[in-house]
Structure 1
């Protein structure tokens, strides 16, 4: 490689310096004891750029997708990691350099890749119908073999969805295993078109609904219940003319209202109803459920935009510590003539990357795990300001009782997204284990920690030591057993 990665915030340090590792490691070192119930694979994916950015600098979210599989069996843990061989990745590997420009702006790409998908498959890795789907919300899924992590190719569900963008946060209906998904900017760059899909457990498309959003917006996640879909429309907007001129895909516009579109799953989209909320930033959904004529949606929220790479053009980026963070319950009253969403605070502290038990998705629930941040526990005098996307706590919250347990990884540590694993097939909701990668900022090392949800504040029951540093990842999922054909 003749060009070095830049010494800019998204490419340096224990969290963001590229790892660029592919390979397998058998029998990772374990401190403590792996719970006997953990028999399966923890898949996760990270944006990990294979080549330095073409335009000299880039953002974290534009890295190539690298999938890691931690395979648990009989108290042992093996590790496997491979890049997702997207069209973009293969073109750049052949050229031995980056060929794509600004994030999601094809007008800034090298002419040699005109018309080629710029999807990075770097945001989520989801098992479905015997395959792994590596997901990035601006493109089709990329299918991978779950046993070898070999890339199969772009996946359009056997020609059932065309070349439409596909969310990185599909949901599984716990009643029948169907996959529920959507795509935004589905009619082309900066379009207001949104498409909603439902696929049966074998991958057959059962429903397709098209709607139009109030404005062309980033819709990173969504919520489902047995009868409804909720689309959070955050005021981060796309503009085609700006992209043609070489500008950024998205802009934060806090003068626009935050809106939620509530739509029936069994309708044609004409019934969608828009509820308005004060301007705020929200990315990830915890859960939603129906309560008579009301629908409750639980999401972490902040009073301002925490995506540093998406700012109001011409305005300075506010410091994240000036924002208020919380876990919010939004309620939409379908029996009311009003259009205002009401809010309730469930957890009044910084939090993100929330997860509930997969068996209660879309249903009334009680338990959740998420990442938190307490700056009083961070060695700022020794380390200086923390990196962006910094979380030093694991949180287990009981949303019914309003209580929470936390564990801090240390004064120089940062967690990656936590994943919940149920203790057994018949275990009560929320009873199980928390898996999370923990980056050590001073030693530039990483370990996988395992905590029991019944005693989170006691810390890990096991620590799996990794001989390689893992770059900050985004999302992952646990698949029980050795065979995911039915997953």
Structure 2
């Protein structure tokens, strides 16, 4: 490669492109990995292989590089591979970047017009024995969960008509169904939403189409026993702005937040919209039904979390200074009101939530987060490779029933990435098991996979699997029990788009 990456914060320090594929077997372990753990922790990070052709770039635009920690019999093996997207293959063949600004096809090289722009860099989930690499501007990409071999895009046998697919589908723990949707489903900067139910065996069993109040990002979703909720955030999209070379999204400080609610088997005419004051609705923790209301637990920030998508005025506020809370949003289905009510759920500074996935859509208690313990100093002045993204110094456990919060903080020069929960057994009580997460050892320039007892995170790690390299800040990942992918045969029918 003869072109240097630009010296910009999103591609410097800890986030300098890693461009690594390979494996490290039998990681060195301090402590003892619980014998009950048998499965894999999959995660994905944006990791650009070539410098962007525009000369600048944002973190969200990197190629998806999937890492897998396979844990069995007390041992941990690590493997990492790029998702072989059409975009990635085209650029590797050309030996240079062909795609331009984030979600702006008008900045691409003419040679790739019409080719999928997917980087598959936002989330990875296992369903129907397949590892799905997800980016919300495109169809999902199937991968082999054991080898990380890319199989290709899938429209589920031609039954998914949406052009896009959410980065945050939900798996119903009772039926095994994957509940999902695509926004901008008919094309970029359009308000169309396509809602889908995919059976445990991978068949599309329900489809509904409707429009959001405005065209924007809809990053996450939530489900209950009977409903699905779509938080619409005021990050507006515009084709005209993209044609002028501008960003796909723009923060709109005057727009309200909307929460769309549709019955699990509902149609477009069944959607109800609830309005709330301007805010940035982040990731959903969970949702459930109680006394005729949907109670949605979600991160809410009073301002723009993504400064790289500024408002038209150009004014940018440091996200670290914005008030953020984990809120409970009440959507009253019995009332004719169109207003959502918001209450504080947990008094924490945190994001990237995970729960015990066996309790998705139900009245749950335990949430685990990457967060900030303000009582513990974070000494970034002592490290050379400073992090660019949201900085969290602690693993946080929050009790949604009592509001009680616990922290585990690894060290003054360490930061944490998104945690995942692993049940101790299939029949264990809610929240009884283990939490695992990557810890960035900033002063050492490398990362560790840390495993803690979920019922006693303050007690510190049960095991630390040492990596000989740093792990770029991942966007999202998930745990999958070995039974969900080992020896499972599926017919994905991948295709090129």
Q: Is TM more than 0.5 here?
A: yes
The answer to whether the Cα contact below 8 Å between 2:197 and 2:206 also exists between their aligned partners in 1 is yes
- Contact residue 256 and residue 276 of structure 2 kept, 8 A: yes
CA distance in 2 between partners of 1:244 and 1:386 (Å): 32
Return the offset for 1:415: 1.0
Within 5 A, what are the aligned runs for 1:425-436?
Answer: 425-436=426-437
Q: Quick check: 2:423–2:432 contact (8 Å CA) kept in 1?
A: yes
Q: Which residue of 1 aligns with 2:358?
A: 359
Q: CA deviation at 1:414?
A: 1.3
CA root-mean-square deviation: 1.5
**How far apart are residue 147 of structure 1 and its match?**
1.6
Cα deviations by residue, 1:81-110 (Å, 9 ceiling, x for unpaired): 100000000001001111111100000001
* Separation in 2, partners of 1:119, 1:60: 14
Change (3 A) 1:483 1:369: closer
Residues in 1 aligned to 2:344 and 2:377: alpha-carbon distance in whole angstroms: 23
User: Within 2, Cα distance between the matches of 1:336 and 1:160?
Assistant: 36
Answering whether residue 439 of structure 2 is matched by residue 438 of structure 1, we say yes
| 1:282 paired to 2:281 | yes
Please name the residue that 1:419 is paired with. 420
Query: Which residue in 2 is equivalent to 1:61?
Result: 60
- Indicate the residue corresponding to 1:111 in structure 2: 110
Q: Return the TM-score normalized by structure 1.
A: 0.97
Measure the CA separation in 2 of the matches of 1:445 and 1:191: 42
Return closer, same or farther for 1:366/1:418 CA change in 2, 3 Å cut-off.
same
CA contact (8 A) 2:279 2:302 kept: yes
Alignment of 1:240-389 (within 5 A): 240-375=239-374, 376-382=376-382, 387-389=388-390
d(CA) in 1 for partners of 2:175, 2:320: 43
8 Å CA contact 2:86, 2:117 repeated in 1: yes
Q: CA deviation at 1:327?
A: 0.6
| Aligned mates of 1:67, 1:319 — CA distance in 2 | 30
Kept in 2: contact 1:13–1:444 (CA 8 A): no
**1:297 Cα offset (Å):** 0.2
Corresponding residue for 1:390? 391
Q: Work out the CA distance in 1 between the residues paired with 2:482 and 2:351.
A: 28
Distance in 1 between the 2:311 and 2:318 partners? 14
Cα deviation for residue 383 of structure 1 reads 5.2
Q: Does structure 2 conserve the Cα–Cα contact (< 8 Å) formed by 1:36 and 1:75?
A: yes
Partner Cα separation in structure 2 for residue 306 and residue 313 of structure 1:
15
Runs of 4+ in 1 over 6 A off after TM superposition: none
TM-score scaled to structure 2, two decimals? 0.95
| Partner residue, 1:408 | 409
Corresponding residue for 2:192? 193
Q: Secondary structure at the match of 2:281?
A: coil
* Map of 1:5 onto structure 2: 5
Alpha-carbon deviation of 1:337? 2.1
SS at match of 1:316: coil
CA shift at 1:381, angstroms? 5.0
Post-superposition offset of 1:377: 2.0
Paired with 1:443 and 1:408, the residues of 2 have a C-alpha distance of 17
Q: 1:262 and 1:483, CA in 2 relative to 1: closer, same or farther beyond 3 A? A: closer
Per-residue deviation at 1:413? 1.3
* Kept after mapping to 2: 8 A contact 1:325/1:348: no
Aligned match of 2:164: 165
Distance in 1, Cα, partners of 2:199 & 2:164: 19
Q: Quote how far apart the aligned CAs of 1:163 are.
A: 5.4
Q: Which residue of 2 aligns with 1:228?
A: 227
